[in-house]
Each structure stands twice: as structure tokens, then as C-alpha cells.
Amino acid sequence: MTSYFDKRTQTPVETRKYVHFYVAFSGLLFLGTVWSLWDEVVSRRPWKDYQTEYNDLLAAKYDSLALDAQASVDSAAVSQATEAVASARAALSAEEYVTTNERKTDLLEELEIATREWRFARSRSDAAYYQYKKDLAEGKDATSSKAELDGHDADIAKWFESRNNLEREIAGFDLILEKYTTAVQKAEVELRALLGAVAGYQAKAEKQRQSPIAIHQVVKNDYEFTPFQEVKARVDRCQTCHLGWREELMTDAPQPHSKHPAPELLAQHNPETFGCTPCHRGQGPALTPGFAHGDEDHYWETPLLRGNDVYASCNGCHYNETRLKFAKPYVKAKQVVIESGCYGCHEIKGFSDLPKIGPPLYSITAKATPEWIYRWVRNPRDYSPHTRMPNFRFSDEQAEAVTAYLVSASRTSEFTLERPRGSYAGGSPSEGKRLFEAVGCQACHVTAGFTTVRDVRGTSYDIAPELSRVGSKVNADWLFDWLKNPRHYNADSRMPSLRLSDQEARNVVAYVMTMKDERALDKFSVALDDPDRIARGDKLIREYGCAGCHLIKGMENEGKVSVELSDFGRKKAEQMDFGDTKPIQAHGEQEYLANDDGTVSVQHTWRGWIYGKLKNARLFQTERIAQKMPVFEFSDEEIKLVRMFLISMTRDIPLPAHQRAYDKRFQDIEGGRRVSMRYNCQQCHILEDEGGYVLAKYEEAALGPPPIPETQGAKVQEQWLHAFFKNPTTIRPWLKIRMPTFQFNEEEIGKLQKYFLGMAHQDMVIRDYASVQPETDYLRPGRQLFDTYQCAKCHPSGPVSGEGAADLAPNLAMASSRLKPEWISGWLLDPQRLQPGTRMPQFFFDGQGPDESVLNGDANEQIRALQTYVWSLGRRSGTPIADR
């Protein structure tokens, strides 16, 4: 059979037909044109539909508000006002109004003609005047030019008088017409007064419906560097779709129309100038959801952050800060990373100056037995289920080797007890228990019968060792030595001295040693002095990076054993090994699944790898690829927080001009924050709205430790604060807890002082407070007010007896040596503003004192008098306040 193409080749060219080809290709061209138009106008511009939908939604809300406002209006009054408007408008049809208005219209036309003729006459007069003056100057006969000038001046006078007559007549008609129009205006004003809110909402609704559909763009010039270190701008068009980010009425609207959930953040990061992608990431210039969010662009490296992950972007500008007021998840993520000691193995930007989180192991055998050390190394959570120490999953042989090395290294320790062995004897367990619970040990340490502080703190791990089985860990001689002076065993210990007497220390030892591990454990019998075993332990300790958290003899200068995390957030899923795990749906809610066959499934994404790694650090281990990272047993929340922190680990930071200036004040504040974190000050004290966890121990917060307000630096004298950190003294006698002695060094004290001063926006200035003399004219009225307000009922101003101390406020004998005089005045004016929840009452309201007989009732003068008298108390009493 002859094919179509064979027949076609046999047909002469001049007789061939191409119609069907033209039709087919024309059809394809038409379809392609239609598709390209649709793709350009519709599919690539969904933002137009979003804006239309937003305008309709907001207009509907205004309409709803208008209906609500109308429903609240007196309908009878509205009806009466409407009738008044109609009646006033109907009066405009009266014969007098119509006739007068018509006559006024005619007169206005005549006035226009008269005005025009008057202006023309003035022009002609000017020309005639010029000719007249010219004739005079040239010596010509000026009679005719003068006559012409006089004629034009007469016309000016005639038309000017005509204009005045017409204006007077029109003004008379205006008075008649105004009587009608004023009535209409008055009626309309009364109606608008009734329907003002309704009309306002209706106007807003109409304006919203007429809003133009347009792209909204923010350009931040010179914002960041390209990978080639060239400065580039950042372009954001997010608000093109997210129009309702600041509209209160759109709080409950669906995305993308909803109001921003954290308006307090927008006060610092205004999207109209700051943009959206610096915090939310995504592809700013894109105008379709898939590409703008980065989900459909496989090569876009910074997709949209969702949920709490958005706080990861805080690290771009605030990497050197550990607390941010409006970013609690970010703060907690850093807290978990710091408290877990991740920086011990990993180099992390901003964490290089942090101390090791574990205790030194130089003299561990003075504290614990080899048997306990072995079991601890083998599985720390077997002894303490909530310890921060991760599980390296050592085999028995590996744990024995590590134990052998630690015991061997400890034998050369020069540590000796400060007191003879047996000094702990003679303690009372019951008294020790009472003291243990009273002085504040449970602010940091959990026991089997008290886990409240751990629960309130909200972490899966303890911040200090749990003591439920400590009697099986330490020996009594070491414990007594430790309680008396923790820095004797560990020169950098965070454990403070509670200034216990010898008998108090004996009592606490007697109580603590009753808390033992009652389980039946296998006997430990291993030759710990075997050189090969010790050598293998040395190798294992170096290999697994134990020196990252602990000081170990001979390993003080060991480097970090794992990868740097400073740019880990830019790593791709393609660069990660998922081992033998099975994949589950990417970006779904389920992130970790233990299968029936013993395998595990995770999302094969960046986020999925991190979740699996933190859930089980050995998850991706195979027979060929060993994994050495220990298992931390993080809670699900903590895993997501650490993952959020790792998302933040990129070197994509804006240029300094777009960051908050990390000036001296912020450096001082951050330095103090890190000292307070190291010593766990927030376990007792509320610092920047965080902490005070031990308050959960008490039925009433007033019986617990006081919060530290951000104005503490404005409150106390610099010299006193320095001395207090050196040697704390009793300030609030009603507290059951005592402020311990942390044995801060001078650098740490300086950082804490600058922290409090920085929070109060003050500089470190050493003032001579002793030279501040009381104003003698105010002493007598101050004493009178002091007695009137019964200040001495709560505030002693001399030696304090033990009786009734729980009901007392701070001793005013310390005021002149402790407080700043200007702070006393602010405190008297409004105590609750400076320290919310204080028991101090407020006496002065609205500039008036309650006692009109003193200083004419002037609040400022009375406060000045009280401040003067209080300042004089300590100077006169000279009462020493004994240390607790």
C-alpha cells in the first residue's frame, strides 16, 4: 500500500495543499496564546483574588459593625430626625424659595456681566491714561485724550455702582434662602449625630471595596551579602497577599488575611520598613504562594518558617543574646542547648566563652566509688532518670575501660579533706531534713518526694543532680567537706555555700545519706589497674569527647570532637545519611514511627533527620557507619526547640545597619545574663519575667524569695551590691530561704553589677553616698508621717529579734547604706510599679498625701520628708545587720 508521504512526493509541488497543516498549527498557536494569557493573567496573579477577597471580607466586617451600630440607635429618634430632614428638604420646593432662587440666579448673571464690563472699562481707562500722559510728555494737544480718559473713568464708576447694587440685592436674597438651607443642614446634622458610627462604618466599607488592587513592596537597600560578598538589597512583597497583618478586625480571619499574632513584635520590626522575610524567610519577590513560601522552588534555600520555627530567625541579629522579651521559644531553645552542653562537642557561634557544664574529674574517687563510676558511665539514666548526662551506650568492656582511666587519673590527685574523717558524725536526719527543705536546697535539687520545681521549670532534665539515691553515690566525709565549702573540691563549682555551721552540715549529711539506691545491683569486680584497659579508656575518652564537658587530667586542651554547627541550618537533606530508616510522608504531622518489624521511619527531610537524630542519636547507624553522638533523651518539645535552634544556625545575617546595636549597655546586660545562667539564679529569682521556680514550693508566693525587678540597678548602691555579692546579708526576715554565698570572683561580680545597672539604663558610677546629708527641715514632718502611716509596724529600724520576724519588712536601719535616695522617693510614690506583688501599700494618689495637716497635703513634699527621715535612720542607729 502506498503511504501518504509516498503519494505526496509524487504530487507536483505546485499542486500540493497545505491547508490542514496551517489549520493544525494555527489551532496550536491559538491554544498556546490562550494558555499564555491565562498563565500570565490568572495563574501567576492569585494575589489579585486574595486582595479582592480581603477587601470583601473587611468590607463585610464594616457592614456588620454598621448594622450593630444601627441596632443600638433609638429607632424612634432616627425616624423623627429622618422626617425632619425630609420636611426641611420639602420646604425647598416652596414658592418663596423657588422664586427667590430664580431671581438670585438672574441677578448672578447680571452681576457677572457688570463685573466683566467694569474690568473692561478699567482696561480701557489704563490705555487712555497712557496715551494722555504720552501726549503731555511729547508736548502734543492732550484735549482729546483727556476727554477719552474721562469717559472711561465715568464707565468705571457706573459699572462699579451697578455691581454694588446687584451684590446688595443678592445678599438680601441669600438671607431668605439661608432660612431654608439652614433648616436642612440642622436636620441633617441631628440625623448624622444619631447615625454617625453607622455612617462611618458604611464609609469605611465603601472605601475598602474601592481599594486599588496593587502589589505592595518593601525594599531594604544594602541589607545583606551575596555568596560572593557583594552587598544586595532585600525585596519583600509578602504584604501583597497578607494585607490584614495589622487590622484588628481580621484577628479571626483565615490566612492569608489574618492579623499578625504577635503585634508586640511588630512594634520593633515594622513590616512596612523591616519587611517580612527577615523573620519569616521565604522568597520575598515571588507572588504565588508556592514560590513565595519556597515550597515549590526546590532550589530555594530559605523556605517559609512555620509555627515556633519562625523564632529561629531571631538568631540572625541576636545570636549573642540569651534572652529576648518577645521570643520565649527562642530563649528556651538556647537554654536547652546551653544546659545540655552541646557546645562541648560542637563549635557554635556565640557559645565560645561558656564554661564546661560537667564537674571536673580530677579527684572523682574522693567522691564516689569505682562501682558507682562504672554504672554511671555505663548508663547514667539508670541511676538518675532525669540527668543531663547523655548515654554513650558503652559496652561493658568500654565502660570498664573508661572507669579504669578515671580511677587511675584520680590516684595522682592532691585533693585532701579539710577536716578529719568522721567529722560528719553526730547529725540528726530529722533536723537535716527540716534544714534541707528550709534553706533552699530544693530550688536546684530534686528528691524522690519533691519534683515540683522540675515540673514547673518544664524541662525533662534536672539542672542540678537529683539526690534521691545520692547516699549510694558519695561518702559522708566528702559530703560534709562539700557542704562546708564546695570550692574546696571544685574551684569553679556552681554550688554555693549556704554558710552552714558544723552542726547544721552534720544534720544535712545525716539526712542526705538516708537517700540510697535500694535496688539489688550486681557486684563490680574488674582489674582497674590493667595498663591496657587504662590505655583503652584514655582512647575512648578522647574519641567520645568527654573533655568537652569535664576537666580530665591530661586532656585540658582537647579540641571539639564533632562538626561545627554555626552554619548547620544551610545543610541540605541530600547531604544527610538516613541509614536504614524508612521514609514517611514529608512535612506531615508524624515525624517518628517505630515499625512492627523493629525498623524506624522518619521524614527524609532536613527537619526529619534532625528530629530522628535528637530522638535517638544512633538511629542512622549502620554496620559500616558508626555513630558516636550520645543519646540525650530529650522530650518531644525539647527536640523541636533544639531543631529550631539548628535552623537558626546560618551565617546569613543582615548588615550592621539593619541590626539592633550591640552597644556597651547590651554587652553589659548579656554578660550578667550569662553569669546568672551559670549559677542558676533564676531558680529562685525572677529575671526578666523568667524564673522563680522555687516559688512553687510555697503555698504563698510572699513566703518565697522576692523577684528581682529590672530596676534593681536603680535601687541599690553600687558599693552595697558589690559587698552583698561578696557576702550576702539578711534583708527580708520573713523568707524561709537564705541567699547563699556563691563565692563570685571580681569579674563575675562586675558583670552582675553592670547587668542590673544596664537593665535600669544606668551607668556604673561610684558615688559617695555617705556625703548625702538629710535635709533637717524635713526631718520633723518625716517623723510625723512615719508615725502616722505606722511604718515601724512592718519596718524595724534597729536590731531584729527572732520573734515575729516572718511579718517584718526590710530593716530601715540599712536604708542609707543600701538604697539610692532617689529610688526611695519613687518607691514611696508607687511601690507596685517598681515591684509588682509587694506587700508595701501605696499611700499617695493623684498628687495628694492622705494627711492634709502635714506640708499642706502635698504628696511630693511628703515623699521628700519621708525619704529624708528614712535616710536618717541608719545614720543614727548604726545598727549592724548580722549575716545569716
Report mean pLDDT in 10-residue bins for the chain, 884 residues: 68 77 91 87 84 95 91 81 85 87 91 92 92 88 88 91 91 88 86 80 93 94 86 94 94 93 90 93 92 88 92 90 90 94 93 90 94 95 94 95 95 90 93 91 89 89 94 95 95 92 95 90 84 96 95 92 93 92 84 86 93 94 91 95 95 85 89 93 88 77 59 89 89 74 93 93 86 85 88 76 62 86 89 82 79 84 90 62 32
CATH code 2.40.37.10 for 769-877: no
Q: What is the signed CA dihedral for 137, 140, 141, 143, rounded to 10 degrees? A: -40
Phi, psi of 774 (to 5 degrees): -65, 145
Per residue, the 3-state secondary structure of 803-867, as one string, reads: CCHHHCCCCHHHHHHHECHHHHHHHHHCHHHHCCCCCCCCCCECCECCCCCCHHHEHHHHHHHHH
Residue 739 in contact with residue 745, Cβ under 8 Å?
A: no
Q: What are the angstrom distances between the C-alpha of 656 and each of 187, 567, 633?
A: 61, 19, 39
Q: What is the pLDDT of residue 879?
A: 40
DSSP state of 625: S
Residue 77 in contact with residue 320, Cβ under 8 Å?
A: no
Cell numbers for 150: 474721562
Same fold, 364-548 and 769-877: yes
Cell numbers for 483: 557542704
For helices 95-138 and 143-209, give the axis angle rounded to 10 degrees: 140
Q: What is the pLDDT of residue 734?
A: 62
Cell numbers for 59: 468590607
CA atoms within 13 A on the CB side of 340: 27
Cell numbers for 268: 520593633
For 77-116, give one letter per residue: b (16+ CB within 10 A) or e: ebeebeebbeebeeeeeeeebeebeeebeebeeebeebbe
Q: What is the pLDDT of residue 805?
A: 55
Residue 378 in contact with residue 401, Cβ under 8 Å?
A: no
- Cell numbers 477577597: residue: 53
364-548: CATH number: 1.10.760.10
Taking the C-alpha atoms of residue 682 and residue 675, their distance in angstroms, rounded to an integer, is: 11
Taking the C-alpha atoms of residue 859 and residue 787, their distance in angstroms, rounded to an integer, is: 16
Taking the C-alpha atoms of residue 865 and residue 337, their distance in angstroms, rounded to an integer, is: 52
Sign of CA pseudo-dihedral 641, 646, 652, 657: positive
Q: With left for phi above 0 and alpha for psi between -120 and 50, is residue 420 left, alpha or beta?
A: beta
Cell numbers for 136: 503731555
Own/partner pairs, 200-209, CB within 8 angstroms, 24+ separation: 201/62, 201/63, 201/65, 201/66, 201/69, 202/62, 202/63, 202/66, 204/62, 205/59, 205/60, 205/62, 205/63, 205/66, 206/59, 208/55, 208/58, 208/59, 208/62, 209/55, 209/56, 209/59
Per residue, the 3-state secondary structure of 561-617, as one string, reads: CCCCCCCHHHCCHHHCCCCCCEEECCCCCCCEEECCCCCEEEECCHHHHHHHHHHCC
Q: Which helix (H) or strand (E) is 250 found in, with range?
A: none
Phi, psi of 603 (to 5 degrees): -70, 130
For the chain, the C-alpha Rg in angstroms (whole number) is: 43
Q: What is the pLDDT of residue 878?
A: 45
pTM for the predicted model, two decimal places: 0.82
Cell numbers for 128: 487712555
Residue 68 has a CB neighbour count (10 Å cut-off) of 12
Per-domain residue ranges of the chain: 4-42, 62-201, 218-224+240-303, 305-340+566-659, 364-548, 663-725+733-759, 769-877
- Using alpha carbons, select from 212, 251, 206 the residue that is nearest to residue 66: 206
Beta strands in 502-585 (DSSP E): 582-584
Taking the C-alpha atoms of residue 287 and residue 51, their distance in angstroms, rounded to an integer, is: 12
Number of helices (H) and strands (E), helices first, in the chain?
Answer: 32, 7
Residue 245 in contact with residue 259, Cβ under 8 Å?
A: yes
Taking the C-alpha atoms of residue 514 and residue 497, their distance in angstroms, rounded to an integer, is: 22
Sign of CA pseudo-dihedral 15, 20, 25, 30: positive
Residue 497 in contact with residue 485, Cβ under 8 Å?
A: yes
Q: What is the pLDDT of residue 882?
A: 30
Strand partners, 406: none
Q: What is the pLDDT of residue 1?
A: 59
DSSP-derived 3-state class of residue 360: coil
Residue 406 in contact with residue 361, Cβ under 8 Å?
A: yes
